Amino acid sequence: MRQTSGPELNRRRFVAASLAAVSQRSVAGANDRLRIANIGCGRRGLLKEALDLKDEANIEVAAVCDTWRQKREKAASDVKEFTGKEPFQAVHYQDVLSRKDIDAVLIATPDHQHCTMLIDAVRAGKDVYVEKPLAMNMKELILAYDEVKKSGRVVQIGTQMRSYRQSNGTRRLIKSGGLGKILKVEQERNGYSPYWQSYGGAEYQDEKPGPADVDWKAFLMRAQDPGFDPSRYQNWYGYREYSLGPHSGLMVHFIDLVHYTVDVKTPSRVVALGGTYRWKGAFTAPDSVEVVLEYPEEFLVRYCTVFGNGAGSYAKWYGSRGSIDGKNLSPSEHWIATGKGSEEPDAIRADFQVEEPEMPHHMKNFFDCVRSHQTPIAPIEAGFNHSVAVIMADEALTSGRRMIYDAAKREVRPG
């Protein structure tokens, strides 16, 4: 469960603390222990990843922050049990950012909070690991991107599929010309029920939030206040004010992987269809989407999710010389290259397993880059590019019009 934010801060106090933090960097060398804070202590599991990496990455989880008291206290208890040390607890993320002893933050909160928290964090001199999607609209995306570039902080986006061994083998094969000219990449990612429903399912009935347990206004941030609603708080994935839908929550992983493996940036044109076809009710996110994206490099990308039947999921890259079967984009399966379907003279002659070079853990790569100040594998540019694709898809879906992207103006518009 990812929800954390804060109320309107005393801006004078926060800006002063931010400037003080920017003026000094507490990470002096590669052998120093990093003190990190986890903002958003729910089911996404960033805290567990950090605790699992604590020795290998030489980190200390020094603070936990969540607007839900029980989640925050459970996170603090887990940290103490795992490390023997009691972390600082905060309801509001600004109280974490104002601490000079925090080197980096992990942001695992609802989608509508990502950009605001990222901006505040880099202004406070913190390096940041932030979950996807980076942004829900172009205005906040451009503000966040520019602020990160101005700050010089290390930012890693949580699109961890690009750290899979198979992903890097696919990237190498494509860059070497092994598939020839890339023509299309597509994914079907289906399921019986929408993922947001599981957050309020029967197995979580004992975790229902009450108004006395949460800071509701901190959760909303700048979203309209409909009055306290435990479903909106706990199952925020299903409400478009806080997360757009499968094309935002699921396609973002795939589209980032396309950008990485094919080595491209943003689509030029996008069309989309979809709606709520099976799971009628209070949720406002669509349960079915079909998105087609065209890239300036002259190839197509197709993404589809249908909730109501979980059959038929796959991911494939198609080139003039052959194709790659990425299965369900699972890191535990071998991806296979084949020449079937190609009649080119240089088509792949025999099926083979895509290379699987060793890769560092995605979050450890972030910690390593905080120390070295090198560029991580999923930098802010990756977040910008995947967000452009997601935003184009959503505007095409909601407007019923084809959307184009003007890279020079950083503008999405009908066309």
CATH number at residue 137: 3.40.50.720
pLDDT tens digit string along 94-140? Answer: 999 999 999 999 999 999 999 999 999 999 999 999 999 999 999 99
CATH code assigned at 270: 3.30.360.10
Q: Is residue 265 part of a domain?
A: yes
Give the distance, in angstroms, between the CA of residue 29 and the centroid of all CA atoms in the same chain: 29
Q: Are 45 and 72 contained in the same domain?
A: yes
Q: How many domains does the chain have?
A: 2
Higher pLDDT, residue 46 or 127: 127
Q: Is 11's pLDDT higher than 60?
A: no
Q: Are 168 and 148 contained in the same domain?
A: no
- Phi, psi at residue 65, to the nearest 5°? -145, 130
Q: Are 187 and 319 contained in the same domain?
A: yes
Q: Are 22 and 170 contained in the same domain?
A: no
Q: Is residue 212 part of a domain?
A: no
pLDDT tens digit string along 145-192? Answer: 999 999 999 999 999 999 999 999 999 999 999 999 999 999 999 999
pLDDT tens digit string along 279-323? Answer: 999 999 999 999 999 999 999 999 999 999 999 999 999 999 999
pLDDT tens digit string along 20-34? Answer: 444 344 444 445 899
Contacts of 178 (CB under 8 A, 6+ apart): 319, 321, 322, 337, 348
pLDDT value at residue 44:
64
pTM above the 0.95 mark?
Answer: no
- Could you tell me whether strands 269-275 and 323-325 are parallel, antiparallel, or unpaired per DSSP bridges? unpaired
Q: Which of 31, 38, 28, 160 is nearest to 104 (CA)?
A: 38
Q: Which of 250, 236, 238 is nearest to 5 (CA)?
A: 236
Q: Is residue 237 part of a domain?
A: no
Q: Are 139 and 186 contained in the same domain?
A: no
Q: Are 314 and 336 contained in the same domain?
A: yes
Name the H helices within 295-354: none
DSSP string, 45-64: -HHHHHHHTTTTTTEEEEEE
Instruction: Please give the single-letter amino acid code of residue 37.
Output: A
pLDDT value at residue 199:
66
Q: Is residue 3 part of a domain?
A: no
Give the distance, in angstroms, between the CA of residue 233 and the centroid of all CA atoms in the same chain: 19
Q: Are 189 and 322 contained in the same domain?
A: yes
Q: Give the Cα-Cα-Cα angle 254, 255, 258 (nearest 5 degrees).
A: 90
165 within 8 A of 137, measured Cβ to Cβ: no
- Count of C-beta atoms within a 10 Å radius of residue 352: 15
392 within 8 A of 405, measured Cβ to Cβ: yes
385 within 8 A of 157, measured Cβ to Cβ: no
pLDDT tens digit string along 70-88? Answer: 999 999 999 999 999 999 9
pLDDT tens digit string along 312-364? Answer: 999 999 999 999 999 999 999 999 999 999 999 999 999 999 999 999 999 99
Q: Are 135 and 169 contained in the same domain?
A: no
Q: Is residue 221 part of a domain?
A: no
Mean pLDDT, residues 39-65: 92
- Count of C-beta atoms within a 10 Å radius of residue 68: 25
- Count of C-beta atoms within a 10 Å radius of residue 225: 9
Q: Are 335 and 190 contained in the same domain?
A: yes
Q: Are 403 and 260 contained in the same domain?
A: yes
Q: Is residue 347 part of a domain?
A: yes
Domain encompassing residue 126 = 11-160+366-374
Q: Is 393's pLDDT higher than 70?
A: yes
Q: Are 62 and 85 contained in the same domain?
A: yes
Q: Are 63 and 167 contained in the same domain?
A: no
* Residue reference for tokens 């991580």: 376
